[in-house]
């Protein structure tokens, strides 16, 4: 039974990796990008949030579309979002994580910057976009212990972020 669950997780993970943006190593912002078809529709970035996402993305050397995708999946772009675990704001930053970065998870601009800097730390640690996103969702300890996404829910989370990211990649 355990082997079947592990096998199913491995298959799901393979599907996510194969359908992900294809970023194996993440050493710089240039290597964390998506190729997107020309867009016929307007960008979905809310005007009142765009500046804070662009500023935080620049600070952490990340594409703004990546941060937007994480925020869309994490909080549906709600500045007042609060998870059952205590994560707060647009990027669902844990208070302890924000404190470790000397930022305030309650203030939207600071929340986005905290999420961006934390995601950059995870990218540098795991050298993989999918593993960093897994760690953003499940925690780096769980990802390191499992050697990847620790649950099917985390695999689904990574797939959702990647799909959202792909849908807005190249959007300006």
pLDDT of residue 42: 67
The verdict on pTM exceeding 0.85 is: no
Domain ranges of the chain: 2-20+47-168
Q: pLDDT per residue over 108-126, tens digit each?
A: 999 999 999 999 999 999 9
Catalytic residue list contains 74: yes
The CATH topology of domain 2-20+47-168 is: Lysozyme (1.10.530)
Report whether pLDDT(139) > 60.
yes
* Predicted confidence band of residue 170 (pLDDT cuts 50, 70, 90): confident
Q: How far is the CA of 172 from the CAs of 6, 64, 80, 159, in angstroms?
A: 40, 9, 25, 23
Catalytic choice (74, 106, 107, 164):
74
Closest CA to 154 of 60, 113, 146: 146
Q: pLDDT per residue over 100-110, tens digit each?
A: 999 999 999 99
Report whether pLDDT(13) > 70.
no
């Amino acid at each position: 039974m355990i082997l079947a669950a592990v096998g199913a997780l491995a298959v799901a993970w393979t599907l996510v990796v194969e359908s992900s943006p294809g970023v194996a190593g993440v050493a710089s912002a240039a290597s964390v990008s998506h190729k997107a078809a020309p867009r016929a529709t307007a960008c979905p970035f809310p005007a009142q949030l765009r500046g804070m996402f662009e500023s935080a993305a620049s600070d952490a050397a990340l594409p703004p579309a990546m941060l937007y995708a994480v925020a869309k999946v994490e909080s549906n772009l709600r500045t007042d979002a609060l998870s059952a675990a205590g994560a707060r704001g647009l990027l669902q930053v844990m208070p302890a994580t924000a404190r470790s970065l000397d930022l305030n998870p309650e203030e939207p601009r600071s929340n986005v910057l905290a999420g961006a800097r934390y995601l950059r730390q995870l990218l540098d640690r795991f050298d993989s976009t999918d593993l960093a996103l897994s760690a953003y969702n499940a925690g780096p300890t769980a990802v390191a212990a499992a050697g990847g996404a620790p649950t099917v829910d985390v695999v689904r989370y990574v797939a959702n972020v990647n799909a959202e990211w792909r849908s807005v990649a190249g959007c300006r």
